[in-house]
Chains A and B, each alone.
Chain A
Amino acid sequence: MIPELGHFALIIALALAIVQGVAPFITARATGVSITRTCAITQALLITAAFAALMHGFITSDFSLYNVAANSHSSKPMIYKIAATWGSHEGSLLLWVLILAIFGAGVALRTRATPDFTARVLSVQAWITTAFLLFLLLGSNPFLRLDPAPIDGNDLNPLLQDIGLVLHPPLLYLGYVGFSIVFSFAIAALLDGRIDAGWARMVRPWILIAWVCLTAGISLGSWWAYYELGWGGWWFWDPVENVSFMPWLLGTALLHSAIVMERRDAFRAWTLLLAILTFSLSLFGTFIVRSGVLTSVHAFALDPERGVYLLALMGIATGGALILFAIRAPLLTQSGVFAPISRETGLMLNNLFLMTATLTVFFGTVYPLVLEALVGEKISVGPPFFNKSFVPICLPLIILMGIGPFLSWKRADMGAVLARLKGVFLLSVIAVLALWYWRTEGPLLAVLSMGAGVWLFFATCAEFARKVRLFDGDFAGLGGRMRRLPRAAYGMSLAHLGMAICIFGFVGSSAWKQDATVFASDSVGLAGFELRMTGLVESRAYNYISQTGTVDVYKNGVRVTVLYPERRFYLVAESTTTESDIYQHILGDLYVSISESSGSESSGTQSRWILRVSYHPLVNFIWFGAGILVLGGLVSLGDRRLRIGAPAGKRTDKIKGAKS
């Protein structure tokens, strides 16, 4: 009964979405406005109800539902039963639609836009919702029944029974789908023909929300792969990772270009194009992930039929939006003028670099497909391409990130800015030379990247110090100055610091990673640690046999920890899994795993085992930095001027005066 109610709720939501999509165009203004608002809110409630109905099916293990039978099992822990709601294709699509509707309702409830414009935005959002609801109801209905119902379910892939699945997909989706509302704002503005600084002010909080969620979602995904799935790395330049990374890169560009549009009324065309493209890339990502046109280490339920629908959707949304964009081109003329050296130019360069970086990733991701389509040759593009092309593009961007915030709007004095950064520059050079001296075996690019990270870190600190006039001597007034500083300024500084910390982690763990493989009877020294396997215990768990090694870890002759790498043999699946163990500390992770060697059996039990050890320096900085990045976004979101629903801010010029 409950699943049928959920099903009906979806159908009614579809009807409401259609009404919401056309109302502002066929009814009187005031009616249109109230209809779209009511529809948006009711729709969100209905889809929430449908989602709850599906979740209820999972919680009560109602195996008469096909989706539950295929993805759950009665003996699974409750949290994974709940998480399995969005573990399947149908469920995750329902989550996608739910988030779409919630963002729509969010706009309906709290926005600074005029009622007229809000109605337009909601109507565009409703078109997207309609398309996805149709897809859900016609092609991937999560409420299909099974008759007779099986006694128990098929269970979810054991790898997915993890806290990572509970959080990673919803956050990633919030980010992906969050850009839908930005897209709707852009389309509504293009339809209206009114594109100005006010538009940027309305849309910025939404960009920020989506960006924060996407950042959190991506970093959580890489954390999951590294710690829980034991992939031994945090980023693989895999197509599925790339398609989530591209909206992030463009979203970051959008975040910055929207600032220019709000403050200086410049970059209109650019900002709108980014708003359209960011969501298009989200759709592209959904298509790539769900259609299986590219091979990936991430396995998903695939179906080419669904692919056609998603592709059509992506083509219509992107193509239509870009055509509208071209038609409105005359309206998108530049109005704010600025000198070649100014904050605007800095942000323009930021946009260009981020765009180039996105194109590089895009190129690397689709090139194998295009080549196969044109020449019929099959190739794959792997990490070497991305490392060689992406990293050099990011280096100047990071250097620029240090300088940019020092530049004033309209016209800046480069000489003065560079004079301020002399100390930071000196510090970075010393850091590079010291690192070069200490670690001569590392690649030059890695040493330079570390230097860029140091530069960004201290330049950001210096910029913050300048903003609050830390070295003015007037320490009494410091507290007041810090309180008066807008939260957006804190957010920016935090986000840039977070990026710098991430860079330490990215570079450190990729360039100076160390590996060793030895027979378990020998001891091994790696990165200043001394490891020795002292025992091996075989035990039996409910569905697997476990062989757990005991590995003592010494540093300077002192035992610092004991690690228990494990090898599991699953009896039913007849498969073996490796459960590595990790010694985490601030400077790096020691990763230990064991595997059986089929070599000479005569010489004792322990020599039959092989011990693999690897050391990932600074790897924890990645997630620590990502955390600060997210925090920066959240703090920024708390800024008075960005708060959704707050009264329109003061004239921007005043705030600009306070800031610079």
Chain B
Amino acid sequence: MRIAVFCIPIAVVFILVGVLFWALNGGRDPSIVPSVMVGKPVPVFDLGGFNLEEIGGQGEGLIEGLNSADFLIKNNTQNSINNNIQVLNFFASWCVPCRAEHGQLVLLAEQYGFILYGINYKDKVADARAWLAELGSPYDKIGVDSDGRVAIDFGLTGVPETFIINAKGIILHHHRGPIVGKTAVGNFRRALVAAFKSAQDQAEQNQ
């Protein structure tokens, strides 16, 4: 009995060493936070937008707000495949990495021609407007999530984060952090290409 008690610490140590050994191997990167959103439909939400004149964009009136129904593309035979892929980017004017990412996002949107939506996260409307006026808005629609409610449903850990979503409103990829630098841009491009590929396969099946 006494010996058994003395053996407890030994057992604990060996279990711990085992766990730590596992933690060392398998190429695991502790800084990667996996997403629970991949494979799930876009959460239900409905957000208002900005006044377009105030942000100095072309055209008039309000930029439409964004809601979850926007992600369901109805007649996908009419559109090109590229337009079946949607990208949703969370941004904020106070977030420096968002500013860094902005140019890259514009470039990617031009190159691939996907639909780009934005959600303005926990921002003051005036600041966000000024930010968009300064840098230009690549977004087709922007939702204003001033209290961060919708961001919680998306499982956001911070800004910027970017989601790749298919024509059925299913989240295919969740990118955390700015799309800046070789590795991050490479990963994002790869995820985009995979998304287009699956959209193409889908379109062929439908025909």
Contact = CB atoms under 8 A, between A and B. Distances in A.
The listed residue with most B CB atoms (<10 A of its CB), out of A291, A294, A314, A326, is A326
Contacts of A291: 20, 24
A391 interface: no
A480 B57 CA distance: 87
A609 to B, nearest CB: 13
A329 B23 contact: no
B127 A597 contact: yes
B9 interface: yes
Contacts of A599: 93, 124, 126-127, 130
A277 B13 CA distance: 10
Contact of A294 (B14, B21, B30, B96): B30
Interface string B142-163: 0000000000000000000000
B14 A319 contact: yes
Contact of A315 (B2, B6, B17, B22): B17
Interface stretch (A40-48, A365-373, A470-478, A501-509): A365-373
Contacts of B130: 598-601
B24 A598 contact: no
Interface residues of B, number: 32
A259 B54 CA distance: 74
B115 to A, nearest CB: 27
Contact of A304 (B6, B25, B94, B126): B25
A444 interface: no
A307 interface: yes
B25 A293 contact: no
Contacts of A322: 6, 9-10, 13
A531 B3 CA distance: 66
A654 interface: no
Contacts of B25: 304
Contacts of B14: 315, 319
B10 A370 contact: no
Given A273-B9, A326-B3, A311 B20 contact: yes
A601 B17 CA distance: 57
Contacts of A311: 17, 20-21, 24
B95 to A, nearest CB: 10
Given A295-B30, A373-B19, 20 more contacts: A277-B9, A291-B20, A292-B30, A293-B20, A293-B23, A295-B31, A308-B24, A315-B14, A325-B6, A325-B9, A326-B7, A329-B2, A329-B3, A369-B19, A373-B23, A598-B94, A598-B134, A599-B93, A600-B130, A601-B130
Interface of A: 273, 277, 280, 287, 291-295, 304, 307-308, 311, 314-315, 318-319, 322-323, 325-326, 329-330, 366, 369-370, 372-373, 378, 576, 597-601
9 contacts: A292-B30, A293-B23, A295-B31, A304-B24, A311-B24, A315-B17, A323-B10, A329-B2, A373-B22
- Those 7 A-B pairs whose CB atoms lie nearest each other, nearest first: A326-B6, A293-B23, A315-B17, A322-B10, A295-B30, A329-B6, A307-B24
